[in-house]
């Protein structure tokens, strides 16, 4: 029966555009890595990570009776679509993936309900250690940049998780294949990556997206022309070498107005214009003032077309 449930969810996921699926036992031991990372203050001012730590370490607190965690991958573009100044992280070039994937996960929830399961579904939106469980589910390994790296596919993907009370057949983890490569650490502009851990207090993605305080001068000096996020560690990873992608959801492609608007023009946006330009985009959540703060750190040459 549970083999049938696994086959059904795998088929449904592929039809919905998910590129991979793996299943891990909900009670897999996460060790002390996350707790030690937070204790060291490497989560910066993202206090919600500390607040939700018990649930992240114990999925039973998220879904009582949980037995299995299904992890799904969904591809996003590998190429930078910006045709002018100002870089935007690839994952944020199109529509907000949280909303895009929520409906797909709801469909998969219905499939599992047919087999008697109770579920909770997330896509980077709940207290679930999705990268840890993705590695446990054999989808790849966690690289020195802290991201899930998949052989032949790299790290340019979203992760979604389905916690279920069904005890489904699980997958085996694969060995870490980073070897002696340290290119991601060497490529990080601010030295945020060390010993396989990312220190958010130094990370440009944190400062251009999550931070609630002004960017320190020594961090801003390394920002380059980044407006939102940073892909430096992904761009340096050999597993992300250029390769054709069989399918990219058109909702994740950058709209032409954003692709061609120079950073200098974004600096002049008022609130209404900002909301119109970024309707449906994850960038909208940082607000016009934060975006303009990010732009203010660029040199004139970096804001011009």
Single out the catalytic residue among 45, 109, 124, 225: 124
The CA-CA-CA angle for residues 193, 80, 295, to 5°, reads 70
CA distance 27 to 266: 47
The CA-CA-CA angle for residues 6, 10, 13, to 5°, reads 140
Active site residue 124: yes
- Across the chain, the runs of DSSP E, i.e. the strands, are 20-25, 68-75, 87-88, 119-122, 141-142, 148-149, 157-164, 193-194, 197-198, 226-228
Q: Which residues of 138-148 are buried (b: 16+ CB within 10 A; e: fewer)?
A: bbbbbbbbbbb
Structure tokens belonging to residue 32: 């002390």
CA distance 16 to 203: 33
Residues that are catalytic: 124
């Amino acid at each position: 029966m549970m083999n049938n449930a696994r086959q059904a969810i795998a088929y449904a996921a592929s039809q919905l555009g998910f590129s991979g699926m793996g299943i891990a036992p909900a009670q897999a031991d996460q060790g002390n890595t996350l707790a030690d990372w937070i204790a060291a203050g490497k989560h910066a001012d993202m206090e919600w990570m500390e607040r939700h730590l018990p649930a992240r370490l114990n999925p039973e607190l998220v879904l009582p009776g949980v037995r299995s965690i299904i992890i799904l991958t969904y591809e996003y573009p590998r190429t930078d679509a910006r045709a002018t100044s100002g870089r935007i992280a690839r994952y944020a070039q199109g529509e907000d993936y949280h909303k895009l994937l929520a409906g797909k996960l709801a469909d998969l929830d219905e499939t599992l309900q047919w087999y008697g399961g109770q579920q909770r579904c997330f896509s980077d939106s709940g207290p679930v250690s999705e990268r840890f469980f993705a590695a446990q589910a054999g989808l790849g390994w966690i690289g020195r940049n802290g991201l899930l790296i998949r052989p032949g596919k790299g790290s340019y993907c979203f992760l979604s998780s389905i916690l279920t009370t069904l005890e489904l057949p699980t997958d085996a983890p694969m060995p870490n294949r980073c070897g002696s490569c340290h290119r991601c650490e060497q490529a990080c502009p601010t030295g945020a990556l060390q010993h396989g851990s990312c220190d958010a207090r130094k990370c440009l993605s944190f400062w251009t997206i999550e931070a609630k305080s002004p960017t320190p001068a020594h961090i801003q000096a390394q920002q380059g022309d980044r407006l939102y996020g940073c892909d430096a560690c992904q761009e340096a990873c050999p597993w992300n070498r250029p390769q054709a992608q069989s399918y990219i959801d058109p909702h994740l492609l950058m709209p032409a107005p954003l692709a061609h608007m120079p950073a200098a023009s974004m600096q002049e946006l008022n609130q209404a214009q900002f909301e119109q330009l970024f309707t449906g985009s994850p960038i909208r959540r940082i607000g016009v003032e934060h975006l303009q703060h990010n732009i203010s750190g660029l040199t004139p040459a970096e804001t011009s077309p």
